[in-house]
Amino acid sequence: MTIQITVRVDPDKCQGHARCSALAPELFRLDEFGNAQERQSACHDPDLIDKAYIARANCPEEAIIITER
């Protein structure tokens, strides 16, 4: 069975701490205001899935939302 997740940044919670883009640059980038945006929302690569969870664990604002599908 292939695990797939969807990654999203809640723009109302993100305060631009930039840990997500440092830990998982494949998944997150910063916009012109320094807030995170998803580079890709759907993800099934196991290494990227691990990175997504690490990024979520390191976001002080709990702004990263991961949904398993």
Give the count of beta carbons closer than 10 Å to the beta carbon of residue 49.
18
Least Å from the CB of residue 69 to ligand F3S:
21
Q: In 3D, which of 51, 42, 35 has the Cα closest to residue 8?
A: 42
| φ/ψ bin of 66: left (φ > 0), alpha (ψ from -120 to 50), beta (otherwise) | beta
Segment 4 to 63, residues that bind ligand F3S, using CB under 6 A? 9, 14-20, 35-36, 59, 61, 63
Least Å from the CB of residue 32 to ligand F3S:
13
Residues near ligand F3S (CB under 6 A) are 9, 14-20, 35-36, 59, 61, 63-64
